[in-house]
DNA sequence: CGCAAATTTGAACGTAGTCAACAAGTGTGG
DNA sequence: CCACACTTGTTGACTACGTTCAAATTTGCG
């Protein structure tokens, strides 16, 4: 664990509002320490007491729950700049597991630091609420996908979402990106079996909507994919004019 | 629309923390006005600009999205004391529709009022964040249910959840409660067809887990239902010791 | 190079969907 | 108070999407 300078979370917020120096300084407190987490390692386990929150600085993680028949539901993929474990912080025991999908770097901080920011910076409080609401809406989109769309649509939506979220931190990504997930993981995110995910990917490929080679996916026809998936990018279309003034 | 006195939302928060007079007064600002909404009426429509937020004071509502094949996914049932439309407030256009399932009373307020509370009352900001996280976790439970559990388990989970949420505002409810939903609505919430919901209810009844008569449901064996559903009440087990001090 | 994990494919199966018809409520207006 | 229309609930027969199981093949990694 070593000390670092500027906040990754602040960079994400800067996409939407101009942070004041004081605000930026307060956010830096979230990322004073950093910890390396190897691929496959678990940062927080479901039903265990949860001490810390984290900012994900580098790499890809996921949150999931295990059902008592042993099956897994992946709730969310986590990208650099995401705040991890807010929902766990409000419970005595974590409602979900956090696990690294690649080698990652996270910055741990405690509830008191969050509490301090909420005391001193109403506009940052509001932005944290906004972020948790964006996540909420993204979850409802996935709920609708699992409840009411076909296997092909769910896989297409996942590919589009991955592409957009990767692009948020790496503007060089356009049509192609490294998948970084096994077909079993795609299945656990979309409520399908790995076998059926395979068939759906193949079908999307045969229909010319995507191409695959060596773990990389290319979205050949984003329009057609979006149509098949009725996908909405929830990081767009925000209205933040009502936020409290910066302090 | 007429003026009323004490806040319904404050009552909900009081279950978890002791509000100061100043805090209670600030929350009263959310419920200065009230509006009656008839069964079936729509309070906010998906993809339309969203002006107001609401506190639900009386009755039952739901939020849902429509997919472009015309199918509907019900995202959440809303009960007295719930804050409605936070997620809509952060977007230019509402991501979901709000619709009354019974005759209801809501208290409309605007973003500026919320913003004002967040400026003056850090602990209330934190509680609003806590509430949105409880809702988030409840959504992930449903995501896991749709992705990874059987039709019977989803229906059982919905019945348990309805019972617990109704009981939160009416302690007289124990085993029996008025369902207040059509089988089609249960299907749209659980990702099933009305026909299959009917079969599942019948099966739960035949197995002695529930009883039905005239729109009322009785949960005869909550343990067995909870087992079939792996259901967790997310309004329990909170850890709020870290909240900022009241102001 | 050798092993384990991941992917691919086929065949059989089963859960839930679809379609259709009928019954039971529910509310409205005559 | 009844007649009618409409919504909701119920049931059966058939269909289909996605699962399960199994085996072969490829990929990635130590």
pLDDT at position A6: 80
| Nucleotides of C strand lying within 7 Å of any protein CB atom | 5-11, 15-20, 26
pLDDT for A4 equals 53
Q: What is the pLDDT of residue B3?
A: 46
Section B116-123 average pLDDT = 98
The whole-angstrom distance between A17's CA and the closest CA on chain B is: 13
Q: What is the share, in percent, of chain B residues with pLDDT greater than 70? A: 98
Strand C proximal residues, B:60-119, Cβ < 7 Å: none
Please report, rounded to a whole number, the percentage of residues in chain B having pLDDT higher than 90: 94
Which residue is associated with the tokens 């059509």?
B182
Residue A163 CA to its chain's centroid (Å): 12
Which helix or strand (DSSP H or E) is residue B106 part of? strand B104-110
DSSP B153: H
Mean pLDDT in residue range A65-87: 97
Strand D: positions under 7 A of a protein C-beta atom: 7-13, 17-22, 27-28
In Å, what is the separation between the CA of B204 and the C1' of D4?
Answer: 35
Task: Please list every residue in chain B whose beta carbon sits closer than 8 Å to the beta carbon of residue A97.
Answer: none
Which residues, 6 or more positions from B113, have their beta carbon under 8 angstroms from its beta carbon? Answer: B29, B30
| Residues of B whose CB is below 8 A from A142 | 143
- pLDDT tens for A186-201 read 999 999 999 999 999 9
Render the burial of A194-206: b for 16+ CB within 10 Å, e for the rest: eebbbebbeebee
Give the pLDDT confidence score for residue B214 in this predicted structure: 83
For residues B231-245, average pLDDT = 96
Q: Name the average pLDDT for chain A.
A: 95
pLDDT tens across B25-72, in order?
999 999 999 999 999 999 999 999 988 999 999 999 999 999 999 999
The predicted model gives A59-65 an average pLDDT of: 98
Q: Is the pLDDT of residue B6 over 90?
A: no
Answer whether B133's CB lies under 8 Å from A91's CB.
no
DSSP B46: T
Q: What pLDDT, in 10s, does the model give residues A82-103?
A: 999 999 999 999 999 999 999 9
What pLDDT score does B208 carry? 96
Say yes or no: B154 contacts chain A, CB-CB below 8 A: no
Residue A135 contacts B, CB cutoff 8 Å: yes
Residue range A202-228, pLDDT digits in tens: 999 999 999 999 889 999 999 999 998
Instruction: Find, in chain A, the residue whose alpha carbon is nearest to that of B95.
Output: A137
Q: How many percent of chain A have pLDDT more than 90?
A: 94
Residues of chain B contacting residue A92, judged by C-beta atoms under 8 Å apart: 237-239
Q: Distance (Å) from the C-alpha of residue A177 to the closest C-alpha of chain B?
A: 26
Residue to mutate among B26, B90, B121, with most A CBs inside 10 A, is B90
Q: Give the minimum alpha-carbon distance from B209 to chain A in angstroms, rounded to a whole number.
A: 20
8 Å CB contact of A148 and B96: no
Residue with CA nearest C1' of nucleotide C25: B214
The residue of chain A with its CA nearest to that of B151 is A147
Spatial distance between the Cα atoms of B60 and B56, rounded to a whole number of angstroms: 8
Q: Which residue of A has its CA nearest to B243?
A: A115
Helix, coil or strand: residue A44: strand
pLDDT at A3: 46
What is the torsional sign of CA B19, B244, A239, B89?
Answer: negative
Residue A150: what pLDDT? 98
A50 CA to D17 C1' in angstroms comes to: 40
Within the 90-119 window of chain A, which residues sit less than 8 Å (CB to CB) from chain B? 90-93, 95-96, 111-112, 114-116, 118-119
8 Å CB contact between A80 and B225: no
Give residues with Cβ within 8 angstroms of B231, minimum separation 6: B141, B156, B157, B160, B161, B225
Residues B114, A242: C-beta atoms closer than 8 Å: yes
The structure tokens listed for B79 are 């009960």
Residues A148-186 as b or e (16 or more Cβ within 10 Å = b) = bbebbbbbbbbbbbbbbbbebeeeebeeebebbbebebb
pLDDT at A214: 85
């Amino acid at each position: 664990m070593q000390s670092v300078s500027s906040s990754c979370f602040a960079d994400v917020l800067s996409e939407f509002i101009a942070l004041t120096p004081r605000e930026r300084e307060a956010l830096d407190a979230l990322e004073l320490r950093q910890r390396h987490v190897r691929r496959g390692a678990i940062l927080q386990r479901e039903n265990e007491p949860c001490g810390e929150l984290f900012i994900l600085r580098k790499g890809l993680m996921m949150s999931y729950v295990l059902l008592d028949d042993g099956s897994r539901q992946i709730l969310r993929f986590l990208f650099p700049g995401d705040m991890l474990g807010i929902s766990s912080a409000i419970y005595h025991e974590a409602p979900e597991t956090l696990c690294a999908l690649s080698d990652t770097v996270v910055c741990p901080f405690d509830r008191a630091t969050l509490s301090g920011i909420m005391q001193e910076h109403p506009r940052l409080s509001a932005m944290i609420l906004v972020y948790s609401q964006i996540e909420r809406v993204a979850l409802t989109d996935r709920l609708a996908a699992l409840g009411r769309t076909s296997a092909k649509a769910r896989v297409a939506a996942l590919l589009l979402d991955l592409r957009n979220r990767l692009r948020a931190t790496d503007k060089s990504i356009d049509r192609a990106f490294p998948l970084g997930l096994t077909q079993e993981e795609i299945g656990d995110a979309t409520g399908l079996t790995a076998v059926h995910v395979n068939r759906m990917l193949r079908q999307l490929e045969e229909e010319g909507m995507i191409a695959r080679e060596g773990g990389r996916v290319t979205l050949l026809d984003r329009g057609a994919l979006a149509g098949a998936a009725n996908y909405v990018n929830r990081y767009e279309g925000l209205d933040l004019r009502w936020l409290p003034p910066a302090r």
